[in-house]
Amino acid sequence: MAIRADTIVLGAGMVGVSTALALQARGRDVVMLERLGRAGRETSYGNAGLIERASVSLYTFPHEPALLMKTVLGFAPQARIDWARLPAIAPWLWAYFRESAPERARAHAAAALPLIARCVSEHEALAQAAEAGALLRHKGWLKAYRSQKTLAAALEDARGLADYGLAVSALDAQALAARERDLAGFVGAIHFADPVSCIDPGGLVEAYAALFAARGGRMFTGDARGLEASGQGWRVGSDNGPIEAREAVVALGPWSDSLLRLLGCDAPLGFKRGYHMHYAPRPGASLSQPVLDADGGYLLAPMARGIRLTTGAEFSTRDAPPSPVMLDRVEPVARRTFPLGARIDAAPWMGARPCLPDLLPVIGPAPRHAGLWFNFGHQHHGFTLGPVTGRLLAEMMTGEAPFCDPAPFAPTRF
């Protein structure tokens, strides 16, 4: 006998779980399907743990000639192109470069702003309901610089953030040392006060999933690629038998395009792969908030498991073998910056950020499939935007007035 529900949400990362909760809050009987049988174990697990309220600009491909050349030649620590996969990724890279032109990038960032503006409040509401507030830290984060020249240029750019109601302050070397005594090698930093950090990103997703279950939601293990139209709705297999519902939501992050192709759909999804490793701090050393080494191209974040070092972006295919290059490049620099001890993880974690060329997510109805909805492609901000994009999609699906214009995120824009 089939398991029946109003809606099947495919994927139990931050985006999928948040979407399920938002639909559930609006009266839908929701089932989640996750291939691992556990929420928050893949892309949502391996980020820097930031709920990035201050990210009013997007992570564009560089157009400034010097930085563009460094990126292409492999000298920029923030990014790496996997040249062995260039034939496969070149069309997407070119589209991403084109959409990163300053005028286009400003338009895309303006479209994303209503989502960014609500990211913290939507997370805080869920964290409170899930009794997971202990995982959040309201200290903001630091962007630190090694030269006065780069710091001065960054401060000039940061002054414009006041127009968005954001609290941003400059720290000289002395003020930075007073805030984080164990950092070394920086002439100053910019403190972004509004973002919130999480000491266990995967644990927060699991807490939201537990809230979903406590409210009567069900999660099953299965392969979303088995989704098929059935009668007036959708059907997919699970370890507990077939699931049937009148609606289905694709929230599979970097695996969304695999299902779309099987359904005869398409989306120009590319991948920015990232790596992380946890370290024990050396005895007596501590870090109270995430710190981005702007010149070094990595971020250090205090986590429940230790100090997490996260890398920049590796442009490759989703399933190419992991490369040690990015982590090996930045770890020696990070060790000079902060007294990192031994590696804790047996091997570096790797994940793939799912990105559309315009760096906006796909949110809305499938163009040719009744009852099929999309919520994927959040690039660097899946952890940040899961709750707010889940709310937006749920409003669209239930006929509620959307809190912002969903047109910039329409699947038909490609």
pLDDT at 1 over 90: no
Calculate the average pLDDT of the chain.
96
* pLDDT over threshold 90, residue 171: yes
**Confidence class for position 350, pLDDT limits 50, 70, 90:** very high
Q: What is the mean pLDDT of residues 298-318?
A: 97
The answer to whether the CB of 323 falls within 8 A of the CB of 295 is no
pLDDT of 158 above 90: no
* pLDDT at position 159: 86
pLDDT at site 160:
87
Closest C-alpha among 58, 66, 115 to residue 357: 58
Position 232 confidence tier, pLDDT thresholds 50, 70, 90: confident
- Rounded to whole angstroms, how far apart are CA atoms 84 and 71? 16
Give me the pLDDT at residue 164, please: 93
Q: Where are the domains of the chain?
A: 3-45+202-268+358-413
| Cα distance between residue 92 and residue 100, in whole Å | 12
pLDDT at res. 297: 95
The predicted model gives 173-177 an average pLDDT of 97
> Mean pLDDT across the stretch 5-12?
98
What per-residue confidence (pLDDT) applies to 292? 98
What mean pLDDT is predicted for residues 39-64?
A: 94
| CATH fold of the domain at 3-45+202-268+358-413 | FAD/NAD(P)-binding domain (3.50.50)
Bridge partners, 349 (sequence order):
276
Q: Give the mean pLDDT of 83-103.
A: 97
Long-range pairs for 110-113: beta carbons < 8 A, 24 or more residues apart: 111/360, 111/408, 111/409, 112/58, 112/359, 112/360, 112/408, 113/56, 113/164
283-304 tens-digit pLDDT: 999 999 999 999 999 999 999 9
Work out the pLDDT band at 11, boundaries 50, 70, 90. very high
What does the pLDDT read at residue 266?
87
Tell me phi and psi for residue 228, to 5 degrees. -150, 150
162 pLDDT band, cuts 50/70/90, is confident
